[in-house]
Amino acid sequence: MIIHRYSEYEEPERPPFTIEDLIRSITEMMMRGGMKFDEALRKMLEHGLPINLFLRDDALDHILDDHIEQVKNAKEGLAREYDYPGYLDKLRERFNRHANNLADLTRQNPRFFETLKEAARNKSASIITELWWMADRAGDERLTGELGGAKLLVEELDEAEEFNAVAGKEFSGAKGLDWEKAREIRGKYEALDRLQQELEEAREKGNLFGVNEERLKEALGEQAYAQFARAREELMDKLAERLKASGQVEVEEDSGLFKLTPAAARKVGETTLAEIYMNLKNDGAGGHYTTGPGDGALVQVKTKPFEYGDSISNMDVPASMINALVRGGCAFPIRLRTEDMEIHETRGVARNVVCVLLDMSGSMSRFGRFYNAKKMALALDSLVRSQYPEDSVNFVGFATYARRIALSSILELSPEPITFWGGGVSMKVEGSRAHAVLSDTHRGERGNEYIPRYFTNIQKGMELARMSLTRQQGLNKQIIMITDGAPTAWYEGGDLLLSYPPVERGYAATLREARACARAGISINVFMLGSDFDTGYYGEDRFLNRFMETTRGRIFYPNPDSLTEYVLVDYMSQRRRIVDF
């Protein structure tokens, strides 16, 4: 006989955070700090990442328990051996003798005497130091000597009293202490106490990298340290396996470093997209279809008779079979003819090809501009994948140079650092040199390090975007440019020119590339994150107006925090206009 007993459901205990939480925290650090995965993980470890709270390891726990016990025993051994309270009593007696001697020497000087009494009463090293300077200036060598001794005594007494208040009651030994030995024992005990706290924090909170390795070696020996380090390394190996198993992290073969997979970048984009949708009204945005007929997805149950050229894949099978039965008088077998066939009406779908241009110049590091630009890029990619799978989106980053950007590398991107400050810049880099630092692998190439990398080369960014878009199929091609300023870098005849403030030659070169995009049928929308300070002094506003006239695009001025919402709403709006055309 089987007896079933039921009780209220209790949710199983969950660790304080999961591997998903860890990856999410690391990706946020990467987004905000422009750092690589390993760098972000290392920072979290240094700040007390509690690894063994969600990767529970009994072997490591036992090692930590054993080490904690050894440290406690070492502290108790010191306390059982030495008489620290007795040393403190002797110290107080010595100070009192000095105070009495000083009183005899200064009794004839009422002001000095009263100040000395206050110093003795409060055991104030600072007041005694002040009196020492007064005696030294007066040339009283005897008084100066007594005050110097009193100053050293009161400093030692202050430390000894502080230590005694914390640990004095633990000491019950018989062995006496002199000045030097007392300082040594105090240092050993305090070091052991700190080590115990670190080991307990590692045990209870998982802060495995908060244990001072040198202190552990000195207190418990090399073998104990090796045992702890080996167990910690094994736990780190487990962490690496869990990270890889998540599908969001992989290990580079050459360097052995962690890096995020495209799946991790897409997950950040999905999260950002979900956050944006929470703030948007549900307007039915999604896969929108053209009003004209064409080969595409089904839109309704309405059918029409088959005509030559219609796709058989869109046939309404039940309706066609019924037509054949009616025509044949319900005779079997059913013989289907073309006049029986009913075809579902369809609407053609439009494909949109997009390239996002991300400004990576130095000024994009201000006011959260680049952080929000990265969030926008990932959210747009997620929107396209989830709701417009027939569309495609790729990315180009530009500063002094421009380069294509893989989705998985967006999280660790950061603006180019500003390498020097001051007045205007006017620089020409000849052709061979200008093309020698097009990738980060050439960043340290000899002779190129002097070239500032933080300028704004909109021309080159648009050129790479145009080349990418023209190679892809689709009638609707678009550049979404996120920037905060006007062009300060451009190419002329293969030479790279840099100029700050921006000049007309740079504007003209950028407009030539804008016209090339327009001739290629590429529309350009600009989301300007700059302030009046960035775009209001050197004709930038007039350049932007000419740029918009050339490209027949639009310009928006969103706050960085609302950039993602602006771009996604505009993209969906444009998508509807494209397919309803």
Residue 361 CB partners (closer than 8 Å, separation 6+)? 398, 399, 400, 415, 416, 454, 455, 456, 484, 485, 488
Could you give the strand order of the β-sheet that contains 554-556, starting from the edge strand earlier in sequence? 402-405, 392-398, 352-359, 476-483, 522-528, 554-556
Cβ atoms 407, 266 nearer than 8 A: yes
Give dist(CA 299, CA 344) in Å, integer: 9
Give dist(CA 84, CA 181) in Å, integer: 10
Q: DSSP code of 48?
A: T
Cα 266 → chain centroid: 16
Give dist(CA 481, CA 527) in Å, integer: 6
The candidate with the shortest Cα–Cα distance to 79, out of 188, 231, 197, is 188
Q: DSSP code of 536?
A: S
Give dist(CA 49, CA 42) in Å, integer: 9
Give dist(CA 210, CA 523) in Å, integer: 54
Q: What is each CA distance from 218 to 183, 223, 426, 492, in whole angstroms?
A: 17, 11, 59, 65
Three-class DSSP category at 178: coil
**Peptide bond before residue 415 is cis, with ω within 30 degrees of 0:** no
* Amino acid type, 9: Y
The upper half-sphere exposure of residue 286, i.e. CA atoms within 13 Å in the direction of its Cβ, equals 4
SS3 for 437-492, per residue? CCCHHHCCCCCCCCCCCCCCCHHHHHHHHHHHHHCCCCCEEEEEEEECCCCCEEEE
Cβ atoms 398, 413 nearer than 8 A: no
* Amino acid type, 37: F
Give dist(CA 40, CA 18) in Å, integer: 17
Alpha helix locations (H) across 221-362? 222-245, 262-279, 317-328
Structure token pair of residue 82: 């030495």
The upper half-sphere exposure of residue 72, i.e. CA atoms within 13 Å in the direction of its Cβ, equals 9
pLDDT value, residue 533: 44
Give dist(CA 64, CA 210) in Å, integer: 13
The candidate with the shortest Cα–Cα distance to 208, out of 60, 73, 72, is 60
pLDDT value, residue 460: 92
* Amino acid type, 375: K
Is the pTM here over 0.85, yes or no?
A: no
Structure token pair of residue 449: 């390090």
Residue 403 CB partners (closer than 8 Å, separation 6+)? 396, 397, 438, 439, 464
pLDDT value, residue 332: 72
Q: Which DSSP string corresponds to 55-92?
A: S--HHHHHHHHHHHHHHHHHHHHHHHHB-HHHHHHHHH
Give dist(CA 539, CA 486) in Å, integer: 9
CA torsion 499-500-504-510 (nearest 10°) is 70
pLDDT value, residue 369: 86
Cβ atoms 259, 36 nearer than 8 A: yes
Q: What is each CA distance from 376 to 259, 373, 411, in whole angstroms?
A: 21, 5, 11
pLDDT value, residue 438: 40
pLDDT value, residue 252: 75
Cβ atoms 489, 497 nearer than 8 A: yes
Give dist(CA 259, CA 534) in Å, integer: 35
pLDDT value, residue 397: 92
**What is the full per-residue pLDDT of the chain (581 aa) written as tens digits?**
456 566 665 554 555 567 787 878 888 877 777 778 888 888 877 777 777 666 766 788 888 889 999 989 988 888 888 888 888 888 778 777 767 776 666 666 666 666 666 665 665 566 666 666 766 676 667 767 666 667 777 777 778 878 888 887 888 888 888 878 888 888 888 889 998 898 888 887 777 778 888 888 888 888 888 888 888 888 888 888 888 888 888 877 777 778 777 777 777 777 766 665 555 544 333 333 333 444 444 444 567 787 766 666 677 878 887 887 777 767 677 777 777 788 776 554 567 788 888 988 888 888 888 888 888 888 888 887 777 777 888 899 998 889 998 887 888 888 888 776 666 777 777 764 554 444 333 343 334 567 788 888 998 999 999 998 888 877 788 888 888 878 888 888 878 888 888 888 888 898 999 889 888 888 888 888 866 445 556 667 788 888 888 887 788 888 777 777 767 777 777 665 554 43
Structure token pair of residue 434: 């200008």
Structure token pair of residue 49: 């990442």
The candidate with the shortest Cα–Cα distance to 483, out of 508, 456, 507, is 456
Three-class DSSP category at 433: helix
Tell me the residue ranges of DSSP E strands in 348-388. Answer: 352-359
